[in-house]
Homo-oligomer: A and B are copies of this chain.
């Protein structure tokens, strides 16, 4: 068995693969995510790829049925049906990627020269004598100037407290960490310069341990945000904090403890300790930011939704309860508005660093969806109250994206095909799944443009006077409860998608642009990475643009946080970006209500009053 060399593009995954593996198997092994709903049976067509170089097995029957002769001639195949017979180069189209091009920002090493706000210097001090009995602190600062040419006049209070015994136990050799004009840490020579970037989401906390010397990510990890015990949505957490300062403190401590644990786990992974962390950047939405800092949220929760602070902030890590190097700081990127936080600024920063050209729409889809329209140096942003439907809440059989969640659905010839997370037996539907179902039901004519479930389909039934669509019935999963989508579920989804689409439209209107002028649509965030773009376009949540204008970039907020961590220039740029943003409050936009109502209809917003476009062409 000769191993073949397979090169998947544009994700840039390449490696060797055995000749009894399909292209799909091969892609899985190399981590090039190709969509796969039917389980490799050649039925769902979601794994379409183009063989641009090298030989594969001949087209199967199902492929011949799916592709035209021309298409087959161009190299189009189903990855699950084709087996390499030679070294190959395979192109994965955006619609076939599970998280298409997510690595474009996350994996892509953006060319930023490390220029961290914390610098370290190695020093060898002279030993005090009766004729040179200068104070230890003064001797340290003098050596810094003499040996490194660095002027510094301030030493953190805790560093000062440990300075005298430390210098003596290290035989007057040490490593000094400076942040602007302050010594924030001294350590033995063998310590590292570690930085920590944190994306504090309402659901998940992602942490990246970064070398401040070369900017490389050394380890990363995500954990659930433990504040979830107070409620899945941020409103219930703000409610708790508003009710009593003690609850606010508890919410703060939950996150602080989680970050401490994350940081210490990450350091342990590379054989270091959390006390070597010299700088931290944290991004989060405005509510998470406030709860983390212990800032009041009552004025944020109520109209006109005023943050306590939007400017970039620096806190001593220890003042927040974080156990890092003694005098180290946590930097928080600026917020834009009450519902557009530093995490969105981080997304804008990552896009800026990636030098994305042209009119760009950037979305971070969640319970609250932040949308920005970037036109060179002009940035407008809105916040859309999209609600938690896309996170599986408010949906009868909705669930988080966990094991057994239906994440992908196709309805073809009335037959339901679905894919679950970890290929486990289905237990519910997660966000990307409900989006697919809605699109497929609409494309298949099971619901109308207004979202009404129509009579006639074998899976449509009336239950206690309410109509519902049976995705999987009891018999199909061995007598376990059926998984259904109700009329009410559909209404929630319509409101959610309408909120996003209306927000986009207002941004376009305010900037006097049409959707066709958009060069790039950047979809950031976990949910956005997993959705099927075609489905999102079909229902009219996203503008009807060629798929190649779309990029699903994964956790761009985390990338932005890392950039601000390792580069002072990028940090300054984040302040610059935040100050440039023209925040559009949808509540004050006169045309918002009309737009929102139109956007509740399924299909392309711009054709709502005309003919419904055949959405199936996107699938």
Interfacial residues, chain A to chain B (CB-CB below 8 A): 128-138, 141, 153-155, 157, 160-161, 163-165, 168, 293-296, 298-299, 303-311, 313-315, 319, 335, 337-338, 585, 587-588
Add 4 more A-B contacts to A134-B310, A137-B309, A137-B310 (CB < 8 A): A130-B587, A133-B305, A135-B306, A168-B299
Q: Are A296 and B153 in contact (CB under 8 A)?
A: no
With A164-B308, A310-B135 known as contacts, the answer to whether A130 contacts B303 (CB < 8 A) is yes
Residue of B153, B161, B308, B319 touching A136 (CB-CB under 8 A) = B308
Supply 26 A–B pairs (Cβ within 8 Å), ascending by A.
A128-B306, A130-B304, A130-B585, A131-B588, A132-B304, A133-B306, A134-B306, A134-B310, A135-B308, A135-B310, A137-B308, A137-B309, A138-B311, A153-B311, A154-B314, A155-B309, A157-B313, A157-B315, A160-B293, A160-B295, A161-B293, A161-B294, A163-B308, A164-B308, A165-B296, A165-B298
Measured between C-beta atoms, what is the minimum distance from A127 to chain B in Å?
9
Query: How far is it, in angstroms, between the C-alpha of A155 and the C-alpha of B296 when the chains are bound?
Result: 15
Query: Which residues of B sit under 8 angstroms from A136, Cβ to Cβ?
Result: 299, 306-309
Query: Which residues of B sit under 8 angstroms from A315, Cβ to Cβ?
Result: 157
Query: Which residues of B sit under 8 angstroms from A293, Cβ to Cβ?
Result: 157, 160-161
Q: Are A307 and B135 in contact (CB under 8 A)?
A: yes
Query: How far is it, in angstroms, between the C-alpha of A287 and the C-alpha of B165 when the chains are bound?
Result: 16
Residue of B nearest to A166 (CB): B296
Measured between C-beta atoms, what is the minimum distance from A310 to chain B in Å?
4
Q: Are A133 and B337 in contact (CB under 8 A)?
A: yes
Q: Are B585 and A311 in contact (CB under 8 A)?
A: no
Residue of B nearest to A296 (CB): B164
Residue of B nearest to A130 (CB): B304
Query: How far is it, in angstroms, between the C-alpha of A51 and the C-alpha of B337 when the chains are bound?
Result: 78
Instruction: Tell me how many chains of this kind the complex includes.
Output: 2
Query: How far is it, in angstroms, between the C-alpha of A137 and the C-alpha of B400 when the chains are bound?
Result: 36
Q: Are A161 and B306 in contact (CB under 8 A)?
A: no
Query: How far is it, in angstroms, between the C-alpha of A586 and the C-alpha of B199 when the chains are bound?
Result: 59
Query: How far is it, in angstroms, between the C-alpha of A554 and the C-alpha of B311 when the chains are bound?
Result: 49
Query: Which residues of B sit under 8 angstroms from A160, Cβ to Cβ?
Result: 293, 295, 308-309, 313
Query: How far is it, in angstroms, between the C-alpha of A160 and the C-alpha of B315 when the chains are bound?
Result: 11
Query: How far is it, in angstroms, between the C-alpha of A287 and the C-alpha of B309 when the chains are bound?
Result: 41
Q: Are A304 and B135 in contact (CB under 8 A)?
A: no
Query: How far is it, in angstroms, between the C-alpha of A129 and the C-alpha of B587 when the chains are bound?
Result: 11
Query: Which residues of B sit under 8 angstroms from A130, Cβ to Cβ?
Result: 303-304, 585, 587-588
With A138-B310, A309-B138, A337-B133 known as contacts, the answer to whether A164 contacts B304 (CB < 8 A) is no
Query: How far is it, in angstroms, between the C-alpha of A315 and the C-alpha of B137 when the chains are bound?
Result: 15
Residue of B135, B161, B295 touching A164 (CB-CB under 8 A) = B295
Query: How far is it, in angstroms, between the C-alpha of A131 and the C-alpha of B303 when the chains are bound?
Result: 11
Query: How far is it, in angstroms, between the C-alpha of A161 and the C-alpha of B320 when the chains are bound?
Result: 12
Measured between C-beta atoms, what is the minimum distance from A528 to chain B in Å?
26
Residue of B nearest to A585 (CB): B130
